[in-house]
């Protein structure tokens, strides 16, 4: 049933169907509620979805996946990792988990992604890796980033939290020549397991290390130990690992969400294009689209930037939308404005001017597959009333 004017339309909601619910119930009845056969099935399905010669490792969050990935490629105390300030704090905090330092590079003002023309000037002898973030579901310029990494002997870990399914030059993100790609299945993402993530790599040693470290550094997979028909109680702890495994309850959601990923992308894209058509005469800058014929935008987010001629500020716009019963958000508050990163690295708001300008103008409108056409009509009417009335 469509929302009425008196009902609040939230910024995001997961699109969970009966198939997901029934699979969770089946897991509960089976007795396997932690990592088990459903998780293995989800991994196999995800590998088939991406295709190619890859290995996949489920984790309980993309944050965990990024941490495991950096640890597996050898990031150590004192190293430097280049990334964007226009991201959630998890992208940078995982670098600090290992005693390394995030080195921020400003964004391209059109795409919100890393400005590839500014990466090399930030490379030093301590630089060991680059973490590009595919903001909102639009791929970074990966050919340029890969070329820079190859030139300087750097590793690449793609933060693909927004990027399922995203294509770059005809290839799905997760199948490029990067060392590792990490996806998110958080509640608001394009598919969800509630909490969860996936590490994808072509490197068998990296995959092996991630599998070991995701469960306390144990040398044997716990699922294999508990399902073996032969006595299999013995294990060895070969490293001080973490507790990053995904449960079968979460994987039960993922199995069926993944089946809907293409349909979800088509719906999100149709909604994004409708926003652009019906708000084109408002004082806003539209989000970038995938311009190449073989690129694909996942449309995890729809981010408008209010133009200088807008009758209200960004913050006032969000307040008025809330008063109209519609939730909006801001993606993101740049990391160099956050106290921890600002103080740790002596940054100022002007350190990354494009990220700062984008943040001050940006607002994310509701964009999720559970929204009806009537819901979107209501959002469009509210935006037009505030900005174009």
In sequence order, the β-bridge partners of residue 197 are 59, 184
Residue 103's SS3 state is strand
Q: Is 260 assigned a catalytic role?
A: no
The pairing of strands 155-160 and 180-184 is parallel
Element (H, E) at 362: strand 362-365
Give, rounded to a whole angstrom, the gap between the first and last alpha carbons of the chain: 28
Please give the structure tokens belonging to residue 130.
């680059």
The pairing of strands 101-104 and 80-83 is parallel
Q: Compute CA distances 158 → 154, 199, 381, whole Å.
A: 13, 10, 37
d(CA 70, CA 99): 11
Q: Compute CA distances 248 → 54, 64, 83, 96, 251, whole Å.
A: 22, 17, 33, 30, 5
State the catalytic residue, choosing from 38, 126, 189, 243.
189
In sequence order, the β-bridge partners of residue 246 are none
d(CA 266, CA 369): 9
Please give the structure tokens belonging to residue 48.
């088939």
Strand order across the beta sheet in which 197-201 lies: 55-59, 197-201, 180-184, 155-160, 127-131, 80-83, 101-104
Report the catalytic residues.
189
């Amino acid at each position: 049933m469509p929302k009425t004017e008196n009902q609040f339309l939230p910024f995001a909601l997961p699109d969970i169907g009966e198939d997901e619910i029934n699979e969770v119930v089946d897991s509960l009845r089976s007795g396997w509620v932690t990592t088990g056969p459903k998780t293995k099935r989800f991994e196999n399905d995800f590998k088939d979805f991406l295709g190619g010669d890859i290995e996949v490792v489920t984790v309980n969050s993309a944050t965990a996946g990024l941490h495991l990935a950096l640890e597996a490629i050898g990031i150590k105390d004192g190293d430097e990792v280049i990334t964007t300030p226009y991201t959630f704090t998890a992208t940078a905090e995982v670098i600090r988990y290992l005693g390394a330092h995030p080195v921020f590079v400003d964004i391209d003002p059109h795409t919100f992604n890393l400005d590839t023309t500014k990466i090399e000037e930030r490379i030093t002898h301590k630089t060991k890796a680059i973490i590009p973030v595919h903001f909102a579901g639009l791929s970074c310029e990966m050919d340029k980033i890969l070329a820079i990494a190859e030139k300087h002997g750097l590793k690449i870990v793609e933060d693909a939290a927004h990027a399922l399914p995203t294509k770059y030059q005809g290839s799905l993100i997760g199948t490029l020549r990067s060392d590792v790609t990490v996806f998110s299945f958080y509640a608001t993402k394009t598919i969800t397991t509630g909490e969860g993530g996936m590490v994808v790599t072509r490197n068998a040693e990296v995959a092996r290390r991630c599998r070991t470290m995701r469960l306390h550094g144990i040398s044997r997979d716990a699922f294999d130990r508990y399902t073996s028909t032969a006595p299999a109680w013995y294990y060895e702890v070969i490293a001080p690992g973490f507790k990053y495994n995904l449960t079968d309850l979460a994987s039960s959601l993922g199995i069926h969400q993944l089946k809907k990923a293409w349909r979800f992308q088509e719906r999100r894209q149709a909604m994004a294009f409708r926003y652009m058509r019906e708000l084109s005469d408002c004082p806003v800058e539209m989000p970038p689209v995938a311009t190449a014929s073989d690129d694909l935008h996942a449309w995890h987010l729809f981010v408008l930037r209010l133009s200088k001629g807008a009758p209200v500020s960004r913050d006032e716009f969000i307040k008025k939308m809330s008063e109209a019963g519609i939730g909006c958000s801001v993606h993101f508050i740049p990391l160099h404005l956050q106290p921890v990163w600002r103080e740790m690295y002596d940054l100022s708001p002007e350190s990354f001017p494009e990220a700062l300008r984008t943040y001050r103008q940006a607002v994310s409108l509701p964009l999720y597959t559970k929204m009806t056409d009537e819901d979107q009509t209501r959002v469009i009417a509210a935006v037009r009333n505030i900005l174009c009335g």
